[in-house]
Amino acid sequence: MTLLPKIKGLARKKPVCYDPKKDRFITLDDLDANKAQIVPLDILTDEQLKRLVIERNRVGEDYKLETNWKEPAKSPNDIIKQIEDDTELGRVTVEADINYLRNRLLIDIEVELAKSRRER
């Protein structure tokens, strides 16, 4: 039984965590194939968290983010530049993505655990 969220397409290529000991990004496929284990995000440094979010933007779906109606929409590469330059948008992006990872993984795993308990 897998306790992993059902994510498809390019979103599955996005890492869900980072292993600092192996200097390796970990995807859902790695977890599903037991090639890696979840590394708690709380043990990562701020720089490692930034690297994780940058990698998630680099390999994920293409998108356009509008942050200000007076400016053109931003692409993943624009967002990566904002993170690397440590702008306010870059910091907010890192915080939002890390919060999404924490909450998404925990919530989905809890849902799967609840399902397996009901099936017993």
DSSP state of 24: E
Which of 7-11, 82-86, 93-97, 105-109 has the least mean pLDDT?
105-109
Amino acid at 102: R
- Tell which residue, 9, 4, 32, has the closest CA to residue 105: 4
DSSP state of 104: H
pLDDT: which is higher, 35 or 119: 35
Strand ranges inside the chain, DSSP E: 17-19, 24-26
The confidence score (pLDDT) of residue 108 equals: 75
The confidence score (pLDDT) of residue 106 equals: 60
Residue percentage of the chain with pLDDT more than 90: 50
The confidence score (pLDDT) of residue 4 equals: 58
pLDDT digits (tens, 9 = 90+) for 65-89: 887 888 899 999 999 999 999 999 9
Those residues whose C-beta lies under 8 Å from the C-beta of residue 75, and which sit 6 or more positions away, are: 62, 63, 64, 65
Cα 1 to chain centroid, rounded: 23
The confidence score (pLDDT) of residue 71 equals: 87
End-to-end CA distance of the chain: 13
The confidence score (pLDDT) of residue 1 equals: 45
